[in-house]
Chains A and B, each alone.
Chain A
Amino acid sequence: MKTKYYVLISIIVVMSMLLAACAKATPAPTEAPMVTEAPVATEAPVVTEAPKSTCPMAVEPGATIVFSGWGDTTEQKIYTDSIERFKAICPDVTVDYQPIPDKFQDKLKAMMAGGTAPDVFYVDDQLMTAFAPSGQLLALDDLMAQGGVKAADFIPALLTQYKLDNKIYALPKDWGTLGLIYLPEAFAAAGIAEPTDAWTWDDLRAASQKIAATGKYGGFCMNADWARFAPFAFSYGGAYASADYKTATIDSPAVKTAAQFVADMFKEKSLVRAADVGAGWCGEAIGKKLVGITTEGGWMVNFMKQNYADVKWTAALIPSGPKTRADVIFENGLGINGATKYPIASAAFLFFVTGEANQGEIVKTGFAYSTHPSQADLVVDPNDKAISSGGLLPDTRVAYWGPYTGKVNDAVGKALDRVFLGDQTVDEAFAQAQAEAQTALDGK
């Protein structure tokens, strides 16, 4: 009887010990990725001289930083090369490159919550929204002052999405935009002149009608996509939301007029969707010679080289609308983990990668455009250059509308979808999109 009693007690004791062990063990694994010389580094964050290095910033001695981003092997090569170049300048900093090719954003959010996020990583609008307001990203302003990096050195449109409460949380590392892509043979078949940099959307429409009339090619290829529609909306003087990101402006006359223009083109069949002509996307439709014109970005250069090397295609500046000529920018930046142990070393690396010297090297590979306006001429491929020139127009902007960017843009895409389906008129579809976007912006 007594023994049973002890059994019970000993079981309870063992169980509570197990649990106690668990309680202590849980935080432990996160200690592992942290680097060994941690105490030294934290004691002396500012060191005056860095021996034998030309590093522009006084980095923490023995700093090892983890750098992470998405990307295929081509992109990874760009960054291993960048790290090599950085090492030549700052030999004291060890950069551990750990690419995460798939589901980068999801993974990074989990890592950040678990305290195992890298020191320097890619930041897009989604990660900016998730990390910046809760202090997970380091504000770069002070470090930029220390490193002599000026916001004015970057293309202005690229910085808007990384600003929050007048602080900068990431610097743009590369960007893309849309250009007018066309098949010269389609223009020849229709007997019309090829696009010029003075083209308007009306010119595009007239040309598309004539190309479609040949019966050999579709006219202008565009999917129900907020990004492809953005140059229309912007050049009609519209935007999807107000500058303070509080009010949706999808049902503004400017956006609706632009949408009506697109809808009319669709109705008269001078505009087709990629799927209508049997292509996965409009770039493929150009490669397969199914359409005469579309709007795509710099990725067309490599895509066509790899898949349709014998198809001759040309790029031109994005056409202008009644108000202005404006393109849409897609971009990614680099940010620093707010909990990093080596903020200065991380900043030195970030400034180097986004700085002019390294950006100039990246441009040469044809991988991406430089984030510095002074390097616009470095783009090698003539088609790529024509596409990129849209990005430097004064009214060009990123389709960023604050934390709810994804939902606002999604509402626009769905509205176009409904219009193309013949489900709703432009007025109905964009009124619904306005309501959806406003609900999202209100945080409901």
Chain B
Amino acid sequence: MHNKTKSVQSQPLIAAIISFVAIFIIIMAIAIINAPTMGGAKVMATAASYLQEVKRTALPFLGIVGIGSIALGFIVSRTVFKIWPNKRNRSSMITGYAFLAPYLIITLIFTVGVILFALYISFNSYDIFTPPQWVNLDNYKNAFRGFVDPASKDFVQSLYNVFWYTLIVVPLQTAAAIFLAVLINAPIRMKQFFRTVFYGPSVTSSVVITLIFMWFYLKTGYINFFLAQFFGVFGVDWQNILWLGDPRGLIQIIVTSLGGNIPSTQWYLRGPSIAWMSIMFQNIFTTAPTFMIMFLAALQDINPILYEAAAIDGATNWQKFWKITLPLLRPIILMVVVLGTIGSLQVFDQVYLATSGGPLGTSLTPVYLTFREALGAQGPIRMGYAAALAFILATIIFIFTYVQRRFIERGTEQY
């Protein structure tokens, strides 16, 4: 009896210690797998040569991860220690984590491990071949140097570009998605057909769409052709625009037409360029249908009784849309706006294919810049700097999402 009580008392401690050790081992193993080594066939030949290389180059990295894993292990083992005496909680904890384990381990290795590695690298100068050199916050400082030194404005300009992009694309694509969804939700014939047609652009690879749009946007392309035909009707001579190669900004065009001038040293006052807006238009075209499907699902969830009641009260269709449909769509709107914002801040493939960040950097985006720096397309490979840019962008996305949640979610009523 006495013996049993003792074992019951000591069990939580043993479990806590085991979980602490397990967490430490797992995280350190992941860290070793993801360690910043010099690579190369000789290093990767055997486990021993790899570990030797890890010892040579990655001890500071392992140290930092070690401290983190000790902290995490402590938190987890404390929880285990508390839960252990309660039999039900204990068994549900064990089953839960046992089921989670396969996915968790893969995520830890291929996502969390890589993120940890990137975080470490963002404080280093790293060319992926030689051991990383610790440089403190230099990479982060460099990123924002464009604010004081116009000669290195790439990242600042890329942020400026995506803010415009988000500001224009997110509201327009959300509105377009709601419009399409309401349209398709109406009792019309061949609903399925229209649904498929509208959804087409979203199913198609964005690479293919970008290539098609590149032809549309040629100076001798269809868009100029149609505009020329359209304006020709009114007797206006349309000047063909090189859509994807025109760096003139929206505000700049307005100011110039009013007789003013914005010098190129004040590029940040010029607004999004024609090239950039062309890409925005293309992106709205592809993304709106994706979100249309979400709105469509939400629309079909709205209880028809509400519309009937409104109709009895004499509400017009317009009133029904503003007073019933839109408020009930609010949770979906939040989701679409958040997803749209994240997607907009991360825009990459259209830029990569269509403009490579040009003309004059007016379509440069943080992700494209990260890619360019990480692969050393215009100079030495700067993996550390690229990682720092990625983390800055991640922080910005986090802030945006958080603020949006606070503002839109408040006042969201569920019926």
Contacts and interface: CB of A to CB of B under 8 A. Distances in A.
Interface in A4-30: 4-5, 7-9, 11-12, 15-16, 18-20, 22-24, 26-27, 30
Interface in B42-60: 42-47, 49-50
A268 interface: no
A85 interface: no
Contacts of A89: none
B29 interface: yes
Contacts of A129: 376, 379-380
Interface string B362-391: 000000000000011111110000000000
Interface stretch (A161-169, A194-202, A213-221, A418-426): A418-426
B94 A4 contact: yes
B377 A406 contact: yes
B264 to A, nearest CB: 5
Contacts of A269: none
A392 interface: no
A81 to B, nearest CB: 29
Nearest to A413: B358
Given A418-B360, A436-B151, A126 B18 contact: no
B212 interface: no
B242 A275 contact: yes
Nearest to B26: A19
Interface residues of A, number: 63
B40 A130 contact: no
Interface stretch (B125-133, B188-196, B276-284): B125-133
Contact of B379 (A403, A421, A428): A403
B39 A112 contact: yes
A131 B376 CA distance: 11
Contact of A115 (B44, B94, B109, B151): B44
B343 interface: no
A306 interface: no
Contacts of A252: none
B129 A440 contact: no
Nearest to B153: A436
Nearest to B109: A22
A135 interface: yes
Interface string A127-147: 001110111100000000000
A27 B45 contact: yes
B66 to A, nearest CB: 16
A279 to B, nearest CB: 9
Interface residues of B, number: 61
Nearest to A14: B101
A423 B105 CA distance: 55
B335 interface: no
A1 B45 CA distance: 46
Given A27-B45, A126-B376, A444-B152, A22 B39 contact: no
Contacts of A30: 41, 44-45
Contacts of A133: 127, 380
Nearest to B25: A16
A434 B28 CA distance: 48
Interface in B14-47: 15, 18, 22, 25-26, 29-30, 32-33, 39-47
Contacts of A18: 105
B41 A34 contact: yes
Interface stretch (B142-150, B293-301, B396-404): B142-150
Contact of A112 (B105, B129, B245, B378): B129
A133 B220 CA distance: 46
B83 to A, nearest CB: 12
A8 B152 contact: no
A417 interface: yes
B233 interface: no
A438 interface: yes
Contacts of A253: none
A56 B124 CA distance: 46
B320 interface: no
A265 interface: no
Given A4-B94, A136-B129, A109 B381 contact: yes
Interface of A: 1, 4-5, 7-9, 11-12, 15-16, 18-20, 22-24, 26-27, 30-31, 34, 105-106, 109, 112-116, 126, 129-131, 133-136, 275, 278, 280, 338-339, 341, 403-407, 410, 414, 417-418, 421, 423-424, 428, 432, 435-436, 438-440, 444
Interface of B: 11, 15, 18, 22, 25-26, 29-30, 32-33, 39-47, 49-50, 87, 90-91, 94, 97-98, 101, 105, 109, 127-130, 142, 145, 149-152, 218-220, 240, 242, 245, 247-248, 263-265, 359-361, 375-381
6 contacts: A27-B46, A109-B128, A113-B128, A130-B376, A436-B151, A436-B152
